[in-house]
Amino acid sequence: MAERFTVTTPIYYPNDRLHIGHAYTTVAADALARYHRLRGEDVFFVTGTDEHGQKIEERAAKAGKAPIAYVDEIVSDIRDLWQLLQISYDDFIRTTEPRHERVVQEIFKKLEASGDIYLSQYEGWYCTPCESFWVEGKLVDGNCPSCGGPVSRLNEESYFFRLSRYAQPLLDYIEANPGFIQPSSRRNEMISFIKQGLEDISVSRTSFRWGIPLPQDPRHIAYVWIDALTNYITACGYLQDEQRFARFWPADVHLVGKEIVRFHAIIWPAILLALGLPLPRVVYGHGWLLLGEQKMSKSRGNVIDPRQLVQRYGRDAVRYYLLREVPFGADGNYTEEALILRTNVDLANDLGNLLSRTTAMIERFTDGVVPSPSGQSELRATAEECVKKATQSLDRLQVSDGVSAVFELVRRANKYIEESAPWQLNRTGDPRLNGVLYDLAESLRIVAVLLRPFLVDAPHAIYRQLGLDSADASRLADAAWGGLRPGTRIQRGEPIFPRIDTESAAQAAEPAAASPATPEVTIDDFGRVDLRVGTILAASKVKGADRLLELTVDLGESEPRTIVSGIAEYYQPEALPGTQVVIVANLQPAKIRGIVSRGMILAGKTEEGLQIVSPREPLPPGTRIK
Ligand code: MSP
């Protein structure tokens, strides 16, 4: 039987609309689930909602609704969000479902029978937003040590779980299983937390009603964290379906935000030990998305709505940004500028252009048909290396490294276009042309397979444009070099990631003006700027823009380039055809007034006016300037 892989997200509180912090965890878990499906494994990916507790009870009362009616609405909104982001969960568990209430009650019976819970008096402090109890000694300046907010005094009868009993067994387990808590910084935190001594914890409340009553004493409601954590085994079939439970438990990965690692790496494993159940293989505590210096959070109200971002930029752009931007495990700042930059640079420019250039060349040079490979391939080794890197990263839960490994192949393939200059091979009838085009198309196909864990639309679009059926890209084995059959008829399509128009892109069209304050650059820095000679073939005014001309420039490539330049105040368009110019040829394309501009012309500006830079004597278009 195929191997199986169980991955979970925290179950979210349906007390408000979710924000991109929640989407961050869920998209990452989705990428892992999709990756393991690509490996042919039997995946069980579970997410859901944590619906009980005082906070929800209060919120519902404020809204004048019954708690269940209140959460039903938010839960349906959460499901819509996951649908929008194409989260491929196999189970969505709600703690208000009868299947879960039964399990929680059974667990309380078992824990009582094994002597792991007992009735006593609770005296301490409670933080409602964190749903956490704290003893006096753990408070920081009298406030909650987790969120820093105020806590309230509690003094009531409560059932206690003998957490203290499990301190040593937990330490032994963590010692024997170095990968159990990740990343290692969180493991160290947990070890020192346990070493300070674990006290028994209160696991029931009598101060509110919205929760699961204890079977042995229904005046008591199960503490919301015990109720929540057990969702993982309910979803796997505990006490309902032995076979299913044996198959999917223990979980391979509990993916959680770093603030709740303590619950998952201490309380939860202790309960499992008490129940005699195996512990999850990995608890991974990832970092926070911050807005400015602060954690984005519902209680602070500083949140970004993922729905708006998807509407503005598309779901693949949002997924890509979340997965790629921040090294997994670390905290990272969210900015919309960074999202736009990632989309424009990685997706529109690097990936989108690779696809449109490759399919355009195949259409022009080989009648739209993928030619035969040559014996030796320049890209094969890189492709194989990238497959290895991407899979190794994902095996180690390094999601952002996984996605960037794929883009190494994209960038190498783009560079290969420049190096091999297929338009010149075509012009001179060079037989190497076929091999080059095959390699580019094959690299794109492999990129599409490797992107399947991360992106949900682009892999299919790439396959379609290559004339292939994406049903054939559903296994990791499909990423092996050589899968593309010569003779495949490509189907050019729209750009898969249109560039996002920004103000700064318009400014980039201004001719560069030298300033004495410019800092020094190294020769390598300079080498990254690709300056080429071009000949202007045509020029016209851009409608509605006094300063802009649209130029058609021959750069010795298969097709002339369109460049929008801010020189209209200095040159009449009729005077320009035939003029040679120097172009920054590898400038990121930018959409200016709806026209895609691919490059920038150099000019010098003084008080007297502006002069285009031209070679003293004519040079062949495409000549590199160094
Ligand atoms: N209901 C509990 C979890 C119970 S799990 C058995 C809970 N819910 S929550 O709605 O507050 O969601 C917390 C989780 O959402 C975090 O652990 C993290 O996965 C995600 N995030 C919420 N805000 C986040 C950021 N600003 N950044 C990254 N992840 C964030 O806690």
Q: What is the mean pLDDT of each run of 10 residues along the chain (626 residues)?
A: 92 95 98 98 98 94 96 98 98 98 98 96 86 85 91 91 97 98 97 95 93 96 95 98 98 97 98 98 97 79 92 97 95 94 95 96 97 94 98 98 98 95 94 97 98 98 97 96 98 92 52 48 83 89 88 87 90 84 91 88 81 85 90
Ligand 1 center from residue 25 Cα (angstroms):
8
Ligand 1 center from residue 104 Cα (angstroms):
22
Separation CA 84–CA 65 (nearest Å): 27
Q: Whose CA is nearest to atom 9 of ligand 1?
A: 12
Query: What stretch of H or E contains 291?
Result: strand 289-291
Q: Whose CA is nearest to atom 30 of ligand 1?
A: 21
The alpha carbon of residue 483 and the mean position of all alpha carbons in its chain are separated, in whole angstroms, by 28
Separation CA 94–CA 72 (nearest Å): 10
Separation CA 134–CA 152 (nearest Å): 10
- The length of the chain is 626
Give yes or no for residue 257 CB within 6 A of ligand 1. yes
Give yes or no for residue 564 CB within 6 A of ligand 1. no
* Token pair for 314: 């598309």
Give yes or no for residue 21 CB within 6 A of ligand 1. yes
The closest of 294, 343, 283, 351 to 319, measured between CA atoms, is 343
Give yes or no for residue 436 CB within 6 A of ligand 1. no
Question: Reduced to 3 DSSP states, what percent helix, strand and coil does the chain have, rounded to the nearest 5?
Answer: 45, 20, 35
Q: Which amino acid is at 475?
A: R
Ligand 1 center from residue 256 Cα (angstroms):
7
CA distances from 80 to 83, 84, 306, 355, 500 (A): 5, 6, 12, 31, 25
Give yes or no for residue 612 CB within 6 A of ligand 1. no
Separation CA 5–CA 33 (nearest Å): 8
Give yes or no for residue 134 CB within 6 A of ligand 1. no
Ligand 1 center from residue 392 Cα (angstroms):
27
The dihedral built from the CA positions of residue 427, 432, 433 and 434, taken in this order, carries a sign that is: positive
Task: For the chain, report the end-to-end CA distance as a whole number of angstroms.
Answer: 60
Ligand 1 center from residue 26 Cα (angstroms):
10
* CATH number belonging to domain 513-612: 2.40.50.140
Give yes or no for residue 13 CB within 6 A of ligand 1. yes
- Contact by Cβ (8 Å): 23, 322: yes
The closest of 601, 590, 594, 593 to 348, measured between CA atoms, is 590
pTM for the model stands at: 0.81
Ligand 1 center from residue 280 Cα (angstroms):
19
Query: Range(s) for CATH 2.40.50.140 in the chain?
Result: 513-612
* Token pair for 346: 């990685």
Give yes or no for residue 228 CB within 6 A of ligand 1. yes
- Ligand 1 atom with least separation from CA of 290: 26
Separation CA 523–CA 256 (nearest Å): 45
Separation CA 59–CA 74 (nearest Å): 12
CA distances from 376 to 308, 385, 425, 444 (A): 47, 16, 17, 18
Ligand 1 center from residue 309 Cα (angstroms):
20
pLDDT at 515: 39
Number of H helices, E strands in the chain: 22, 26
Q: Whose CA is nearest to atom 15 of ligand 1?
A: 22
Separation CA 320–CA 330 (nearest Å): 17
The closest of 377, 444, 433, 375 to 409, measured between CA atoms, is 444
pLDDT at 519: 63
Hey, which of 16, 17, 25, 146 would you mutate to test ligand 1's pocket, going by the most ligand atoms within 8 Å of its Cβ? Answer: 25
Burial of residue 445 (CB within 10 Å: 0-12, 13-18, 19+) is: buried
- Ligand 1 atom with least separation from CA of 26: 19
Q: Whose CA is nearest to atom 23 of ligand 1?
A: 21
pLDDT at 554: 87
- What is the per-residue pLDDT across 528-584, written as a single tens digit (0 to 9) for each? 899 999 988 888 998 888 889 999 898 988 888 999 999 988 888 887 878 889 999
Separation CA 463–CA 449 (nearest Å): 9
* Token pair for 335: 């900015």
The CATH class that applies to domain 339-479 reads mainly alpha
pLDDT at 503: 62
Ligand 1 center from residue 304 Cα (angstroms):
14
Give yes or no for residue 232 CB within 6 A of ligand 1. no
Ligand 1 center from residue 124 Cα (angstroms):
25
Hey, which of 93, 256, 283 would you mutate to test ligand 1's pocket, going by the most ligand atoms within 8 Å of its Cβ? Answer: 256
The closest of 354, 346, 357, 344 to 498, measured between CA atoms, is 344
Query: Range(s) for CATH 1.10.730.10 in the chain?
Result: 339-479
pLDDT at 507: 46
- Residue environment code for 35-49, b if the CB has 16+ CB neighbours within 10 A, otherwise e: bbbbbebebbbbbbb
- Ligand 1 atom with least separation from CA of 287: 28
Separation CA 540–CA 550 (nearest Å): 5
Beta strands in 450-584 (DSSP E): 531-541, 549-554, 561-565, 580-584
Separation CA 331–CA 287 (nearest Å): 4
